[in-house]
């Protein structure tokens, strides 16, 4: 599994910027939801190329037809 990383920056005016890395698809918005709720209104959102990629799922089960 790829490493997931959050980078949170707070500037002098108190604005919060959150960058998510290592999360493909819309999963990043789920990760940042609690942070967004805690700090207030989202003023701007920029999606990275990872946002538009499909998450990779790996199954640990095999099915054999007999």
Residue from 26, 32, 33, 30 nearest 50 by CA:
26
11: in domain:
yes
The pTM of this model reads 0.69
Domain coverage including residue 33:
5-52
What are the pLDDT tens digits along the chain (66 aa)? 578 899 999 999 999 999 999 988 888 889 999 999 998 888 999 988 888 888 766 667 666 777
Report the domain count for the chain. 1
- pLDDT of 59: 66
37: in domain:
yes
- pLDDT of 58: 67
20: in domain:
yes
- pLDDT of 53: 86
57: in domain:
no
12: in domain:
yes
Residue from 53, 37, 56, 49 nearest 18 by CA:
37
């Amino acid at each position: 599994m790829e490493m997931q990383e959050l980078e949170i920056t707070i500037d002098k005016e108190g604005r919060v910027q959150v960058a998510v890395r290592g999360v493909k698809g819309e999963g990043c918005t789920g990760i940042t939801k609690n942070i967004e709720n805690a700090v207030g209104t989202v003023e701007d959102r920029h999606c990275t190329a990872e946002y538009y990629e499909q998450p990779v799922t790996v199954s640990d089960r095999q099915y054999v037809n007999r």
